[in-house]
Amino acid sequence: MFDLLNVFFSFIVLAILLLVSVYIKQKVKLLQQLYLPESIIAGTIALFLGTEVLGAIALKINPNSDLINGLFPETMPQIWLQCPEVFINIVFAALFLGENIPNPKDIWRKTSPQVAFGQSLAWGQYVFGILTVSFILIPLFKIDPLAATLIEIGFEGGHGTAAGMAVTLDKLGFPEGGDLALGLATVGIITGIISGTWLIQWGQKQGYIQRENEAISNQEIDVKEETESIATQKALVMENVGIDLLSLNCGFTALAIALGWLILQGLLWLESISWGQNGLELIEAVPLFPMALIGGIIVQIMMNRWGLDYLIERRMQERIGGIAIDVVIITAIAGMDLTVLGNNLEVFISLSLIGIIWNIFAFVIIAPHIIPVHWFERGLGDMGQSMGVTATGILLIRMVDPGNKTAAFESFAYKQLFFEPIVGGGLFTAAAPVLIVQFGSIPVLLLTSALLIFWLVFGVINCQQIQKIQKLTTQTK
């Protein structure tokens, strides 16, 4: 058990580590060129100063050394180990709070090409992950079949999802899965930025990058801007309520998590009285965070209907989610078991290579046939997201289209409405390990292969239809 003072100082140390990482990044140009987030640097520092590196070295030199637990008190790493599972719920709850959620039909019409490409990337990671694990890694290294889900968890989901899924993988008898997923997430971010930078240079030479501001017709997406009347309403509310804006928005985030918990409990109850009675337990291992995401969407929709959506400040939700994801990443990396990576190095390298090759192949070969307008700029953001986190995709979009002349950022943002609830940390990401345990790898391979084929075929047909409409529009003018 920990007292509150232990928890308090554990977070004090996390904040100091972040400050140190900011200083180090300012001094080391390589870290700046890699665009490595400070939270990853801070987590790495904590890892090296903890039991895994400093403690292991001290133990070899002197078993009685005071440094065998690293520089941190014994309770601090224990507190950090519990943080990813808790704070990942805040990240996903805040994801859509404060966002404008227009008519899904209108969004779909405008962002369907990127939805198709993003879904193809995700399902391909499952397909090639299962093929690699089932027919190569299991025969050679006797790895757990659940390793087939690690590419999608680590690459598409990133550090936050990897940390959140660690508990599920542990419950299902694959405790080393969380550390492997975190390692893959780190590889994904680094290789995503490096390969993205190289692809931008290649695209410039090939003439794929459009620098002029072309008309985007039906692909263009309007972004909601805060009007003066809404700003006035917010000011009046804050004056009358007398509550800090951050505190108010924390309340909405908490409400989203509470709704997510109620949804999860409802699903558990439904399972207990239906298919669960036959021993088929799918919901038991599903974590809370995808339900918190749904809870956030419900809160936002209800606030819109009641005309109170102005109370939710998107910038504040981004700050709340940003703090939470920093805590998740730092504590998850700090708690990594390096011996797991060392004992499964062949598996780790194999999955990393398969994920990298598939993502780059899909971008170069498939994206031009699915995304009809500015395929390079828009597809690059999806590739970046599929190799790290959403921030990696946004970073690459800003690098290739700093003036947002192609509206790639808007279409990328709205694509998440059809993407995040399913893969990249969504419902299927949470359910995939359970499905493999319950039904085996081959049925899940058939399911994911069918979904991959569906999105590829839909993407090509949809792209052709959009191009035909554009040609007819041009001829009419």
Per-residue model confidence as pLDDT tens digits over 283-313: 766 678 778 888 998 999 999 999 888 889 9
Angle at 233 between CA 232 and CA 236, to 5 degrees: 85
pLDDT of residue 239: 63
Top-confidence residue, 228 or 459 = 459
Q: Which of 108-112, 232-236, 372-376, 433-437 has the lowest mean pLDDT?
A: 232-236
Q: What percent of the chain has pLDDT over 90?
A: 40
| pLDDT of 316 over the 50 cut | yes
pLDDT of residue 243: 76
Q: Are residue 58 and residue 113 in the same domain, yes or no? A: no
Top-confidence residue, 180 or 244 = 180
Average pLDDT, stretch 313-323? 90
pLDDT of residue 10: 94
Q: Are residue 113 and residue 173 in the same domain, yes or no? A: yes
Query: Radius of gyration over alpha carbons of the chain, in Å?
Result: 23
| pLDDT of 260 over the 80 cut | yes
Look at residue 212 and tell me if it is in a domain: no
Q: What is the 3-state secondary structure (H, E, C) of 340-395?
A: HHHHCHHHHHHHHHHHHHHHHHHHHHHHHHHCCCCHHHHHHHHHHHCCCCHHHHHH
Q: Are residue 186 and residue 298 in the same domain, yes or no? A: yes
CA 345 vs CA 150, 183, 339, 350: distances in Å: 14, 11, 10, 8
| pLDDT of 232 over the 70 cut | no
User: Quick count: other Cβ atoms within 10 Å of Cβ 14?
Assistant: 22
| pLDDT of 113 over the 70 cut | yes
Average pLDDT, stretch 34-49? 85
Q: Which of 130-144, 415-429, 452-466 has the lowest mean pLDDT?
A: 415-429
Whole-angstrom distance, CA of residue 156 vs CA of residue 176:
19
pLDDT of residue 376: 93
pLDDT of residue 1: 64
Residue pair 425/289 in contact by the 8 Å Cβ criterion: yes
Look at residue 380 and tell me if it is in a domain: yes
| pLDDT of 329 over the 90 cut | no
Look at residue 10 and tell me if it is in a domain: yes
pLDDT in tens, 149-179: 999 999 988 877 888 888 889 989 999 999 8
Look at residue 331 and tell me if it is in a domain: no
Give the highest mean pLDDT range of 15-29, 160-174, 296-310, 331-345.
Answer: 15-29
pLDDT of residue 238: 60
Q: Are residue 59 and residue 201 in the same domain, yes or no? A: no
Structurally, how many domains does the chain consist of? Answer: 2
The helix-helix angle for 375-385 and 104-132 (nearest 10°) equals 60
Paired tokens of 308:
């109170």
Hey, is 95 helix, strand or coil?
coil
Residue pair 429/165 in contact by the 8 Å Cβ criterion: yes
Confidence of residue 214 (pLDDT cuts 50, 70, 90): very low
pLDDT of residue 7: 92
Whole-angstrom distance, CA of residue 381 vs CA of residue 399:
10
Q: Are residue 387 and residue 308 in the same domain, yes or no? A: yes
Top-confidence residue, 227 or 122 = 122
Q: Are residue 240 and residue 366 in the same domain, yes or no? A: yes
Paired tokens of 274:
């239906």
Q: Give the E-state strand segments of 357-459 in sequence order.
A: none
pLDDT of residue 228: 54
- Cα torsion angle, 272, 273, 274, 279, sign: positive
pLDDT of residue 222: 43
Look at residue 216 and tell me if it is in a domain: no
Given 72, 101, 118, the domain boundary residue is 72
Whole-angstrom distance, CA of residue 79 vs CA of residue 203:
46
Q: Are residue 398 and residue 298 in the same domain, yes or no? A: yes
φ, ψ dihedrals at 6, nearest 5°: -60, -45
Half-sphere exposure of 368 (CA within 13 A, CB side): 7
Residues 6+ positions from 120 with CB-CB distance below 8 Å: 362, 366, 370, 452, 455, 456, 459
| pLDDT of 265 over the 50 cut | yes
Look at residue 432 and tell me if it is in a domain: yes
Residues 6+ positions from 392 with CB-CB distance below 8 Å: 188, 189, 192, 193, 196, 384, 385
Hey, is 62 helix, strand or coil?
coil
Q: Are residue 57 and residue 200 in the same domain, yes or no? A: no
Given 41, 72, 103, the domain boundary residue is 72
pLDDT of residue 229: 55
What single letter denotes the amino acid at residue 132? T
Hey, is 222 helix, strand or coil?
coil
Look at residue 221 and tell me if it is in a domain: no
Paired tokens of 244:
């800090």
- Cα torsion angle, 294, 299, 300, 302, sign: positive
Q: Are residue 249 and residue 295 in the same domain, yes or no? A: yes
Look at residue 133 and tell me if it is in a domain: yes
The domain in which residue 142 lies consists of: 93-207+229-324+338-476
Paired tokens of 124:
């391909």
pLDDT of residue 414: 73
Paired tokens of 317:
């939700």
φ, ψ dihedrals at 475, nearest 5°: -65, -35
Q: Are residue 259 and residue 365 in the same domain, yes or no? A: yes
pLDDT in tens, 362-411: 999 999 999 998 899 999 989 988 986 666 776 688 778 877 678 777 67
